[in-house]
Structure 1
């Protein structure tokens, strides 16, 4: 389920609400995440004491569907690697109203990083062949799991049914689907942006060739809402990490200070440094108020809402 919100005015940076749902007997965190448009790591960090595979009937599950928009132009596609999330700003509708959509993604592992910078979509292909690059062929051969030089369209194709090529030199960097949706929201790719099949299909139908794509790495985002200053912190892989399963760690506090410094000129605020430090140390991915004007609990800010599943 795509998350879509009215685009706020320039002086507001926060969209959505954190939701709480009650798990059924057959639910998993992965299935609930896909149902509500949230990736694996986001769900796991928002529910640290819940079993990923067996949450248990009647367990209250947090859906972290509140976001601070990345510090980037609100146009085209913006991908925040640290957050493992894609933002799309469609053109205004017939009533001149604009929205923002956001989707969970998988990104490159530390040793197969996704490049940062500004690029654009240069090609769109439905039911693509997959031609594994030499680096992947070498890796798989070393693992004793050799790949063919070409994988035809079908259920075994790791690109899924849709791919969009990015104008990035030095490699075949794509936005594409997958035949393994369980990995969405993890650092598991060889540099491409991987999406749920239904999400990439929705974008594929609407993003023309030439669409601008900005790839950023913002482990800490800061934003304003209703006169309050908020921080959203995401963990990072250690510099010596080799894969998605290595331990994560909180981002440096200096990243939070840098993010705040970038927006403090937009309004007066007194920062509660204890609250700021706790937010960064927890790195839950859920926006937290860090301004000192009021000591507000999550329920007081209106950032929580309960959902009755149909």
Structure 2
């Protein structure tokens, strides 16, 4: 049976830079795919924050997969909710609003620290009007996912996995002896669909049924791993030669209705910064983002966004206080 969803309706309080949330029951989200219309010129936000109520048997990981959200994403967005026992009827925030990465709106864009893929479908000689987004897993610190521009070099259905010697040696140290060839099938760690990148040895792929819930974490040997149902949707849409941009943007900025938003994710462990370093980097970004548009920053919101990363866009600007009208002096006799 489908659970009822609770979706917040939003009203911007421009004078405070806050969001006020009211709740209304809506239809189940199973019919709401990960496809969003690209916002109008000047806006960088897509989607909306949503809430659901946990059932008795739910974990946050179950809810994450149901909504196509990664593990770290949903845990970071719900810091006071127990990952394994949220509790029957507990309100769970589903982070389904995103600031688009600062990258071309074409092909595939993967923001590594966000652990999220964006795909901009477009016909020849036309710009994309939509964006499709999915959570992904990325490489561990000792198996970093590469950065930079590449392309989809090959599409493979029901791939066979030939584990490299380095991976076989790693597994052998843990007493797990890998075969030279893992045939296609439900336990193949590449899943049923794979998109080979132009960088040798790296793929965007699904996963076997035994690891289908480990999406949205740093757990791979450098490849981009997706939920099986997500790669199955993406695979037929992407053509060989599609450009791929792998970027490192733990802090993203975006405009919406004249308000500046910031979305903060934990930097990669190897890129860890102090708060002062993160603030300096954010201020440089804000200076560039506001070069053509004046803004009054909400210092408290900015500080909280950087100190307590939630992966959720936060308004960091507010409207300037109105200039008081001059008072008219009263005459006397």
TM, length-normalised to structure 1: 0.87
Shift of 1:237: 3.7
- Please give the residue correspondences for 1:88-107 in structure 2 after superposition, counting only pairs within 5 Å: 88-91=119-122, 98-107=129-138
Once residues 308 and 168 of structure 2 are traced to their aligned partners in structure 1, the CA distance between those partners, rounded to angstroms, is 39
1:48 corresponds, among 60, 79, 83, to: 79
Secondary structure at the residue paired with 1:239? helix
Q: Deviations over 1:20-68 (max 9, x none)?
A: 1111122221111111121000100111111212211110010011100
Give the counterpart of 1:84 among 115, 132, 135. Answer: 115
- Contact 2:206–2:225 (CA<8 Å) still a contact in 1? yes
Residues 151 and 226 (structure 1), Cα distance of their counterparts in 2 relative to 1, 3 Å cut: same
Q: Does 1:172 align with 2:198?
A: no
User: Partners in 2 of 1:240 and 1:281 — Cα distance?
Assistant: 16
Unpaired segments ≥5 residues, structure 2: 1-29, 322-333
Q: Which of 302, 312, 319 is the aligned partner of 1:276?
A: 302
Supply the RMSD in Å over aligned alpha carbons.
2.2
The offset of 1:240, in angstroms, is 8.9
3-state DSSP of counterpart to 1:265: coil
Q: Secondary structure at the match of 2:270?
A: coil
- For the 8 Å contact 1:219–1:255, the answer to whether it is kept is no
Q: Relative contact order: is structure 1 or structure 2 higher (C-alpha 8 Å, sep ≥ 6)?
A: 1
Matched residue, 1:305: none
Q: Does structure 1 conserve the Cα–Cα contact (< 8 Å) formed by 2:50 and 2:96?
A: yes
Contact 1:82/1:234, CA 8 A, preserved across alignment: yes
Query: How do 1:22-33 residues align onto structure 2 when only pairs under 5 Å count?
Result: 22-33=53-64
2:252 to 202, 206, 221: 221
CA distance in 2, matches of 1:44, 1:158: 25
Equivalent residue, structure 1, for 2:218: 187
| SS in structure 1 at match of 2:61 | helix
Match of 2:169 in 1: 138
CA distance in 2, matches of 1:73, 1:262: 17
* Alpha-carbon separation, structure 2, partners of 1:249 and 1:161: 41
Shift of 1:85: 0.2
Matched, 1:62 2:93: yes
Separation (CA, whole Å) in 1 of partners of 2:216 and 2:58: 18
Q: CA deviation at 1:268?
A: 1.6
> Where do 4+ consecutive residues of structure 1 move more than 3 Å?
248-251
Instruction: Tell me the number of residue pairs that the alignment of Structure 1 and Structure 2 aligns.
Output: 286
Change (3 A) 1:97 1:253: closer
Closer/same/farther in 2, CA of residues 266 and 240 from structure 1, 3 Å limit: closer
Number of the residue aligned with 1:116:
147
d(CA) in 2 for partners of 1:137, 1:96? 44
Larger radius of gyration: 2
Distance, in Å, in 2 between the alignment partners of 1:92 and 1:45 is 36
